[in-house]
Amino acid sequence: MRRLAVLSDTHVPSRESEIPGFVEQEVEDADEVVHAGDFDSEATYEAVEDLAGGDLVAVRGNMDPVSLGLPAVETLWVDDREFVVVHGSGPLDGYQDRVLQTVREERESEDAIVVSGHTHELTDHVVDGVRHLNPGSATGADPAAEATMLAVDVDGGDVAVSVLRE
């Protein structure tokens, strides 16, 4: 079994001053870390990368410096499961359609799981046959009401998702 720490929308330093301790601990302990964008600064990206021990898959959010050179979309295989990671930048109206279109264009597997951020809204649901995970904001940055992230355990093709909160 492999554990993914899935987080997004840290927004340090523009909206929050630091990454919460529970997030740092989960990132350190995970086998792989997925960040769905909006680190907000090079320093925050480097801090998460250091905590992840180099096992970081990250995409560019609308608040990330171009200098980070992050891709708009990344695909990650863990055991027998494919994850498509995208921030979901753009207006909130049409967000779900944009995210679903991205996974349909990028996936190799029909049962790929999409991970996105942007809305700061914690979700784990299936839309049009696609499982969609959004970890919310790891720091509780506005408009989130609390700091959240996801722990995703993958064992072969089985996936178990747990919500972690401050």
Contact 61, 9 (CB under 8 A): yes
Strand order in the sheet with 148-155: 56-58, 32-35, 2-7, 148-155, 158-165
**Per the omega criterion (within 30 degrees of 0), is the bond before 143 cis?**
yes
Prediction pTM value: 0.96
Place of tokens 């250091």: 50
Q: What is the pLDDT of residues 107-131, one digit of tens each?
A: 999 999 999 999 999 999 999 999 9
Q: Measured between alpha carbons, how far is 139 from 158 in angstroms, rounded to an integer?
A: 28
**DSSP calls for 5-19:** EEE----TTTT-SS-
**Domains of the chain with CATH codes:** 2-165 (3.60.21.10)
DSSP E strands in the chain: the ranges are: 2-7, 32-35, 56-58, 73-78, 81-86, 113-115, 122-127, 130-135, 148-155, 158-165
**DSSP calls for 67-99:** GG---SEEEEEETTEEEEEE---S-STTHHHHH
For the chain, give the percent of residues with pLDDT over 90: 99
- pLDDT value of position 125: 96
For the cut 90, the answer to whether the pLDDT of residue 54 exceeds it is no
Q: What is the pLDDT of residues 135-154, one digit of tens each?
A: 999 999 999 999 999 999 99
